[in-house]
A and B are shown apart, each in its own frame.
Chain A
Amino acid sequence: MTDDDLRALLRRADPARDLPASPQRFPLEDIMTTATPAPPAPRKKIALAAAALVLVAAGIGWLTLRPEETTPTVTTQELRTVQLTAPGVQAKCVEPTAEVLAERADFAFAGTVTAVEGATVTLDVTRVYRGDAAGQVRIAQAGDSSEQMMGSGKFENGKKYLVASSQGSMLICGYSGEADAEGLQGLYDRAFA
Chain B
Amino acid sequence: MDLEGRRRRFEALAPAVIEAVRRYLVRRTDPATADDVLSETLLVCWRRLEEIPEDHLPWAYGVARNCLANADRSRRRQARLFARIATIDPPPPAIAGPEPRDGELEAAMANLRAADAELLRLWAWEDLSPPQIAVVLGISANAASIRLHRAKEKLREELRKAGAAAGHEGETEGSRP
CB-defined contacts of B26 to chain A, threshold 8 Å? 15-16, 19
Known: A151-B1, A153-B50. A7 touches B18 (CB 8 A): no
Of A24-32, A60-68, A80-88, A123-131, which stretch is located at the interface? A24-32
Contact between chains at A26 and B18 (CB < 8 Å): yes
Of B65-73, B88-96, B116-124, B164-172, which stretch is located at the interface? B116-124
Residue of A1, A28, A147, A152 near B10 (CB, 8 A) is A28
* CB of A191, distance to nearest CB on chain B (Å): 17
Contact between chains at A16 and B1 (CB < 8 Å): no
A133–B114 Cα distance when bound, in Å, is 62
Residue of A6, A32, A154 near B156 (CB, 8 A) is A6
Judged by DSSP, the binding face of A is loop
A36–B45 Cα distance when bound, in Å, is 12
* CB of A6, distance to nearest CB on chain B (Å): 6
Contact between chains at B19 and A6 (CB < 8 Å): no
Contact between chains at A11 and B124 (CB < 8 Å): yes
Q: Does A100 contact B (CB under 8 A)?
A: no
Q: Which of B15-46 contact A (CB under 8 A)?
A: 18-19, 22-24, 26-27, 38-39, 42-43, 46
A16–B18 Cα distance when bound, in Å, is 14
* CB of A18, distance to nearest CB on chain B (Å): 10
Q: How many residues of B contact A (CB 8 A)?
A: 33
A1–B22 Cα distance when bound, in Å, is 30
Q: Sort chain A's interface into a size bin.
A: 20 to 34
Contact between chains at B125 and A6 (CB < 8 Å): no
A36–B27 Cα distance when bound, in Å, is 30
Please, which residue of chain B has its CB at the minimum distance from the CB of A178? Answer: B1
Q: Does B75 contact A (CB under 8 A)?
A: no
Residue of A12, A19, A26, A181 near B42 (CB, 8 A) is A26
Q: Does A69 contact B (CB under 8 A)?
A: no
CB-defined contacts of B125 to chain A, threshold 8 Å? 10-11, 14, 16
Please, which residue of chain B has its CB at the minimum distance from the CB of A9? Answer: B105
Contact between chains at A10 and B1 (CB < 8 Å): no
- Measured CB to CB, the residues of B under 8 A from A are 1-3, 7, 10-11, 14, 18-19, 22-24, 26-27, 38-39, 42-43, 46-47, 50, 102, 105-106, 120-121, 123-125, 152, 155-156, 159
